[in-house]
Structure 1
Amino acid sequence: MELIHHYTDIQSLACILKNRTLRFTRLDKLDDAQEVELVSRKHWSQYLFVSSWSTLTDESQAMWQSYAGYNGVRIGLPKHPFAEFTLESRRELNHFVKGEIISPLPIEQIYNEKWIIINTPYHKDLFGQAVKYYKKPDEHIRPVMQDEKGGILFNYYDLAVNKSSTWKHQEEFRYIYFIVPSNPNVLDAWKRTGNPFPIYQHTYEHLQKKKNSPITYFDSPLGDALNHVEVTIGPTCTGEDVAKIEELVSRYTTHGKIQRSDLTGYVKE
């Protein structure tokens, strides 16, 4: 099975295994500062939450150094390792589903009193995407349009997938949520009337105006794929580190595998 990889520290590995979730980071908190400039409207970067992986099969010295420190780990999982929920109709939300739609989140985690997820993650091929690299990435950002009623027209899935070619060595694969803060009044109005207009209006105001988001991260539940995780031990991990990793994988997975880095013995601590 083809795996994608995430380089991180042992503490983050422990959180992923114990909580069985992946933490998504706000785009404006990532290491490529240019990414904020590459979003259609800069303030949207606080609404975009990203989990970054690499499609590189071989280990990357640069990725070890930048994201795990040589005493971290490389986590290997299949593409789309998330839990799967069948979305059910909700009459009070005027949300009707025809046929079976599978989502990495239940509907209560898409619409609630704290947030609204705009790019409802129904389609795996759009939820998880390979980053595109360009010499001039700003030339590949499609502008936001407005319809005759003043509504915003844009493709959610264009956002946060274009980067400068200077980052191409990462061969990045991303999962992206577009999350706008909600509030109890908006959700209650939708439930009470069955009219989704309050949600649309609330979302529109955030997209049009530079409203700050209090949401700093988002955790998405993982599925059974986590039980088959492959963990590569960093090249300078100590015996104590190795024992900790082995204990975590043994306790929280059923078929997890551990292997040593190909760089073990070849890099300085």
Structure 2
Amino acid sequence: MTFYHYTNADTLPLILANRTLRFTRADLLDDESEVPFRSVQLDQRRFFVSSWSRGTHGEAGMWARYGDADRGVRISLKEVRFPWSLLHVNISRETRLHKKDGSPQMVGLQIRDVRAPYEKKTMFGTGYVLLPTGADEEAVFGSDVLYATNPEAEVQRRVTLTEEGMTFRGDATYAARVKGTAWADQAEHRFVISAIKGPLMDHAAEPTRYSNALLDLIEAGSASGFANFSPDVPYIDLPLANDAFEGVIVTTGSWMPSALRDALERSIKDMVPTAIFEECALKVRPRH
């Protein structure tokens, strides 16, 4: 299977040079029916999405909507590769509260032997902390979108809300992979990550200070039932594997000027010598 991603000509060199993929917060996506309800436990702002297509059936609409109105590019990959790693995280401390047995209550973040599509250092961003969704994330991380007549009802089939909290049957990021049937021509394939609010500082520059600030956030959040604990950042750039773009096919839009196409090809070939360049087969009549 081939996966397709449409973007503008200025963005592509940045993607290739940085080897990162931009994930957009779910409440900023086009479809207003996405993750259509909000609670403390299930907030659309905690999901970040990278959208691809697994076919070209709706190619004309994709070029018009996401390919810079036929002036952009489409990248095609047989596989979208991420740097999967086994995460071990233990950031915790004692609080002033005590359990019934007299021992101090702990607060913090613990992740034990969970595979995720990013390394530990990537988890801790400025304003957010990435959270792996479970032991089966590698199997479901990239999945097709389900197109439903009633997206809200479809998601609620898997969610049980009680006084104690929420139970989600299956993959929690499933909630961000349901759209209305009107979008079905896009044949969308999504990668979804989950995040919570983090300290507004650079973890790499000040790891100890960052950890202490994160513990302060978690302790304050637990007191309020973790209300308003979603990130404020509009997007997250996730690193890709070092060989992610080997053999990439770059298709240029039918309205891209030839001079720009030639300059773009030279630039891309410098970064990814194995890149293959093609021109879009669509012939779009000029708009006036």
Give the TM-score category using the shorter length: 0.7 to 0.9
1:47: Cα distance to partner? 1.7
One of 138, 157, 172 as aligned partner of 1:156: 172
Pairing of 1:47-196 with structure 2 (within 5 A): 47-57=46-56, 60-68=59-67, 69-82=69-82, 84-87=83-86, 89=88, 95-97=111-113, 102-111=115-124, 114-120=127-133, 123-142=137-156, 143-146=159-162, 150-154=164-168, 155-183=171-199, 187-188=211-212
CA contact (8 A) 1:3 1:55 kept: yes
Work out the CA distance in 2 between the residues paired with 1:239 and 1:21: 27
**Which amino acid in 2 is paired with 1:163?**
K
The match for 2:100 is none
One of 209, 227, 247 as aligned partner of 1:228: 247
Identify if the C-alpha distance between structure 1 residues 42 and 87 changes in structure 2 by more than 3 Å, giving closer, same or farther.
closer
Identify unmatched segments of 5+ residues in structure 1.
Answer: 192-197
Identify if the C-alpha distance between structure 1 residues 189 and 45 changes in structure 2 by more than 3 Å, giving closer, same or farther.
closer
CA contact (8 A) 2:33 2:152 kept: no
Instruction: Kindly report the root-mean-square deviation, in angstroms, between the aligned alpha carbons of the 2 structures.
Output: 3.1
The match for 1:261 is 280
Q: Deviations over 1:60-93 (max 9, x none)?
A: 10110111111111111233322x2432545667
CA contact (8 A) 2:53 2:186 kept: yes
Identify if the C-alpha distance between structure 1 residues 242 and 77 changes in structure 2 by more than 3 Å, giving closer, same or farther.
same
Identify if the C-alpha distance between structure 1 residues 88 and 160 changes in structure 2 by more than 3 Å, giving closer, same or farther.
closer
Counterpart secondary structure, 1:32: coil
Bigger proportion of residues as helix = 1
Q: Deviations over 1:185-213 (max 9, x none)?
A: 7833999xxxxxx8876676787523563
Identify if the C-alpha distance between structure 1 residues 59 and 259 changes in structure 2 by more than 3 Å, giving closer, same or farther.
farther
Work out the CA distance in 1 between the residues paired with 2:141 and 2:225: 20
Q: TM-score, normalised by structure 2?
A: 0.76
1:170: Cα distance to partner? 0.2
Q: TM-score, normalised by structure 1?
A: 0.81
The match for 1:213 is 231
Larger Rg: 2
